[in-house]
Structure 1
Amino acid sequence: MEERNMGGGMMNSMGRHRGVIVVLLIVLTAFFAVKTIGEIKKVGVIGKDIAPQAVISVSGDAERFMKPDTATVSFTVRMDAKTVSAAQEEVTKKANAAIDALKALGVEEKDIKTISYNINPKYEWNTSVYPCSDYRCPPGKQVLVGYEVSHSSEVKIRKIDDTGAVLGKLGELQVTEVGTVAFSIEDEDKVRAEARAEAIKEAREKANKLADDLGVSLVRIVSFSENGGGSPIYYAKAMDAYGMGGAESAPVPQIPTGENQIISNVTINYEVR
């Protein structure tokens, strides 16, 4: 009898221990499951910016007016002849004379470059190859009559006050195809950076004022963008003033340079709280 009671007590004690172990295992399993899910959720945002909850957007504008210090002009020498070599010879003589004259005016060789050199055949539509009869006129024929050679160059004039003298010399040499004259600023990036800094300062001041009015604090910049402009001043072709035939001594035209406008428009988005 006593042996049976002792055996029963041991069985009850082992059962209670197993129940406790099962409960502990369930608790541990639930704990690790919750932790694992939390870590998985974190992976989705690691390395990513959390989208700001509140944002204000401000803009700033600035402009600079600068007197140009560089002029750019292009010109073309074009000649026709019966043969390619003859046309090339005439073009070479006139183009070389123009380049030598520019160098004599102080234009450096590095600032003169060829932008195109073309050779094209020239045709005429000849209807007299086959004379008309009483009944019909036979079709005409395209006939090669010669070749056209053109040499185009671009010149950068760093002594901008010499622009008129350059145009006058080209006219004197009977270079009748002169392209648009453009005035620019050599170190335009520096001027643009100054305008940008002023625009950013204006935007920052607006942001601080707006934050004070709203009763919030600026946290960080979440985005920045800039739109700006500024282009060279262009003048139309001026060679008509010299006449197609040129002159022994072409007058030196006055070429006003005006001022170039550099604009910077910035937009900054701030996170606030």
Structure 2
Amino acid sequence: MVRMLAAAAMIAAVPIAAAAQEAVPVAIVDGTLLDVVAEGQASRVPDIATIRAGVVTQAATAAGALSANAAQMTRVLAALKAAGVAERDVQTATISLSPQYRYAENQPPVITGYQASNSVAVKFRDIARSGAILDALVRQGANQIDGPNLSIDQLESAQDEARTDAVKRARARAELYAKALGMRVERLVSLSEGDGGMPGPVPVMMVRAQAKDATQVVPGEQQVGINLRVRFLLK
């Protein structure tokens, strides 16, 4: 009889213990919560220019177009090497071969020849020299140039500066609201980082037709942005 009573007591205690474990304490906030979204920014002059340079050739046959293209691209790659561009900064971007057609009314298209193209993405770590190097590439057979895409090499340091600026802006905004409400900022409750942007002017690559003029790449300035969502406790 004693054993049966003990077992019954244990069974009765199980749901009580489970209920106690499921209970979640509710935090009571003594004050007012304020959510602030702030964007911090840092300015940098881009120090890397990525430009696509290529060769487009045409010939009566596919083999002829590819052969002529390979010969010109060999000279272009040699010019990059002679200019001191490292191998790690040159990457094949596209290679293509396509037929060229002549169209006439009520007639099927007729293949008149073939066009081959080959381009490389070149990363210039000295933007000031990139224009002169592009001119050298054109002299060696490059006849297709796109870009530049300007970027910042040490991006993390600029982002850290933007993060510091964002925290300062968020704190200043919280202080403003607290003052307007007749309260004070007690403490920071939470902080999360969102996606930042890099708006900025699109740099212009000026290409001159005359040999006496040199191609110029103007880096301009880029803004690095970081967004923060910060929650403060006001009292």
TM bin, normalised by shorter chain, reads 0.7 to 0.9
User: Counterpart of 1:199?
Assistant: 166
1:215/1:149 Cα in 2 relative to 1: closer, same or farther (>3 Å)?
Answer: closer
Q: Secondary structure at the match of 1:125?
A: strand
How much has 1:109 moved relative to structure 2?
A: 1.2
Question: 2:198 is matched with which residue: 207, 230, 239?
Answer: 230
Question: 2:24 is matched with which residue: 28, 40, 45?
Answer: 45
With 169-178 and 100-109 compared, the bigger mean Cα shift is at 169-178
User: Counterpart of 2:186?
Assistant: 217
Structure 1 unaligned regions, length at least 5: 1-24, 128-138
8 Å contact kept, 2:206–2:216: no
8 Å contact kept, 1:178–1:238: no
8 Å contact kept, 1:167–1:252: no
Q: CA offsets, 1:110-140, max 9 Å, x none? A: 101111101112222256xxxxxxxxxxx31
Identity of aligned residues (%): 26
Q: CA offsets, 1:38-65, max 9 Å, x none? A: 751641538xx85968521123332211
Q: Does 1:181 align with 2:148?
A: yes
Count of residues in correspondence between the two structures: 224
Q: Secondary structure at the match of 1:242?
A: coil
Q: Does 1:75 align with 2:53?
A: yes
Task: Work out the CA distance in 1 between the residues paired with 2:69 and 2:77.
Answer: 12
CA RMSD in angstroms, aligned pairs only: 3.3
Task: Work out the CA distance in 2 between the residues paired with 1:192 and 1:173.
Answer: 40
Task: Work out the CA distance in 1 between the residues paired with 2:82 and 2:66.
Answer: 24
1:254/1:145 Cα in 2 relative to 1: closer, same or farther (>3 Å)?
Answer: closer
State which structure, 1 or 2, has the greater radius of gyration over its C-alpha atoms.
Answer: 1
Q: Which has the larger share of strand?
A: 2
8 Å contact kept, 1:68–1:258: yes
Q: Which has the larger share of helix?
A: 1
Opposite residue 103 of structure 2, the aligned amino acid is W
Q: Secondary structure at the match of 1:228?
A: coil
Opposite residue 41 of structure 2, the aligned amino acid is E
Q: CA offsets, 1:17-55, max 9 Å, x none? A: xxxxxxxx9xxx8xx67x945751641538xx8596852
User: Counterpart of 2:107?
Assistant: 140
Q: Does 1:111 align with 2:73?
A: no
Opposite residue 260 of structure 1, the aligned amino acid is Q
Structure 2 unaligned regions, length at least 5: none
Task: Work out the CA distance in 1 between the residues paired with 2:21 and 2:199.
Answer: 50
TM-score (norm 1): 0.69
1:122/1:71 Cα in 2 relative to 1: closer, same or farther (>3 Å)?
Answer: same
User: Counterpart of 2:123?
Assistant: 156
Task: Work out the CA distance in 2 between the residues paired with 1:51 and 1:94.
Answer: 74
Q: Secondary structure at the match of 2:142?
A: coil
1:107/1:234 Cα in 2 relative to 1: closer, same or farther (>3 Å)?
Answer: farther
Opposite residue 161 of structure 2, the aligned amino acid is E
Task: Work out the CA distance in 2 between the residues paired with 1:225 and 1:89.
Answer: 53
Q: Secondary structure at the match of 1:88?
A: helix
Q: Secondary structure at the match of 2:192?
A: strand
TM-score (norm 2): 0.79
